[in-house]
Structure formats: structure tokens, C-alpha cells
Structure 1
Amino acid sequence: MHTTNYKNTFIEVAEDCPVSVAEIPPVKRNKTLANIQLEMVLENPYKYTSDEVLFECFAIKNEIGKDERDEARRNFFSKGQPCFRSSALGKRYGFGVHSDAEGKIAFFPVESEEYQNFLKDDSVKKVKAMRTKRAK
């Protein structure tokens, strides 16, 4: 089984993130993955792991019923999945992602004091969200 979970890690916004103040992703006709991720985690900080959030988003988007989820989860994680480094929240909308020692996640706006504290905390591993554009 593959995993997207990090432990004691902070995913910083991408180097080419276009905002200096976090934005809520706009809702179009249907909620985007970023909308679902943000709702789940902002309402429940440190309740879910990355794997739980990403699979729930997949299940919602693909209308997978509760009785089909165990098998769908096994299939979903039978191959590698993109982690939160590739999420639009860190690439476009200005949210950092902290994973605690248990792998549970919370989001922090780039302009927040908490975000800055994670950057200064040497006990937390730092990685950046993926760039939207290739470096030249």
C-alpha cells in the first residue's frame, strides 16, 4: 500500500504561488478538490491524515457509496497518489499544510503567525508545494 502521509512536516506554499494572502477557492458549478479538502480540514484540524482526506475527495468526486469504499480505498492506494505538495491549496491559494507526529493535518494561511512559526521551527521538516510552472 502506498501513502501520501507525512509526519512532523510542513508543506510551504509553492515558490510561484501568486498570492501573499490565502484565498478560498471559488466554487463553480461543482466543488473542486481544493474546496472539499479545505472544508474537511479547516472544520476539523488535525482530525484526518492526508490519505483520509485525499481518498474522501476521490470517493466524493466519483460518487463511491459507503459499502464500496473499502475495496475502492485498497485500489486507490495500490498505486502511488499525488500528495498535498501537488494540491492547488499550496500551489495557487496560499495554504501551508502541517502534518503532526501522527500524520494528522491542518491548513495554515501563508499570512498567518502560525505559518511563520512553522517556518522558524527547526524541529519540523519543511518541503515546498510543487511549482505550477517549470523553473527556467
Structure 2
Amino acid sequence: MTTNYRNVFIGVAPDCPATSGEKPPTKNDKPTIAELQYRMIADAPYTLTSDDVLYAVHVERSGLEQTRPTTDRVSFFAADRACLRASPLGKRYGWGIHHDENERVALLAVGTAEYDALSSDPRITQKSAMRSRR
């Protein structure tokens, strides 16, 4: 199973409280899932896939040693995993996520020209982040 998309823009959730892209805060001196995802994608736009980001966050937060990275990754994705539509970046912090033609991801802050251009591009499949509330 994969969480990767090709030529997809995930806009912020309809109930997202942010009006611009906000850097997720650290809580209790431990990076949050949102902070780890933000750092990985913002520091290397269009370098990692959604699967790369989700697995790296899992490894870092669980403190796993990557003794068998390929086997461990296959096992991780053997179970259904939520894609980046469920990420707090689009649900709470005002970040759209663009998946390019090579399935690589980048962040775009809501309210910017780049965000507006991608969110209205008819050549790109449009999705939105999942709502926080029903």
C-alpha cells in the first residue's frame, strides 16, 4: 500500500483555523508529528515522497533503529496508513501539499500566490485535507 499521489494538490481543510502557513510548535521538548513533517518537507521540497515522510516520522518518533530498513518499511506499509490528507499541516497549520509528477512533495502556505495558482490549476487533481471535526 502506498500513500503517494502523482500530480495532486492537497489544499487546507475547510475547517483549518490558520489564514497563513504557520510553523508547527514543539511541545514538551519533543517534536510533534506536524513539526517533523514540516521540517522534512520544508527543508527539502520535491525531494521526498509522502511514503518517505510518513515512514521517517514513524522511525524518529518510535526510536527504532533501522537495522533492516527495507524490510521494516515494507512491514510498516503492509497495514493501511493515512496519507498526508490527514496531516496536521493541512488540518491545523495552513499548509497545502503538492505532489508533483514524480510523487515528490512540497509545502505551500495558504494565501500565497503559489498556493492560489496550484489550487486553481485544472491540470492538477484537487483534494483537501481532512476536516478536524465531522
TM-score (norm 2): 0.96
State the percentage of identical aligned residues.
Answer: 38
Which stretches in structure 2 are left out of the alignment for 5+ residues? none
Conserved? CA contact 2:66–2:72, under 8 Å = no
Which stretches in structure 1 are left out of the alignment for 5+ residues? none
Aligned to 1:107, the other structure's residue is in SS state strand
Matched residues in 2 for 1:68 and 1:101: separation? 29
Cα shift readout 1:66-90 (whole Å, capped 9, x = no counterpart):
3232222111100110000000000
Aligned residue in 1 for 2:118:
118
Aligned residues: 133
Aligned residue in 2 for 1:26:
25
Identify which range, 69-78 or 100-109, moves more after superposition: 69-78
Letter in 1 for 2:93: Y
**CA drift at 1:98:** 0.2
Runs of 4+ in structure 1 deviating by more than 6 angstroms, as ranges, are none
Counterpart mapping for 1:62-81 below 5 A: 62-81=62-81
TM-score (norm 1): 0.95
**CA drift at 1:63:** 1.1
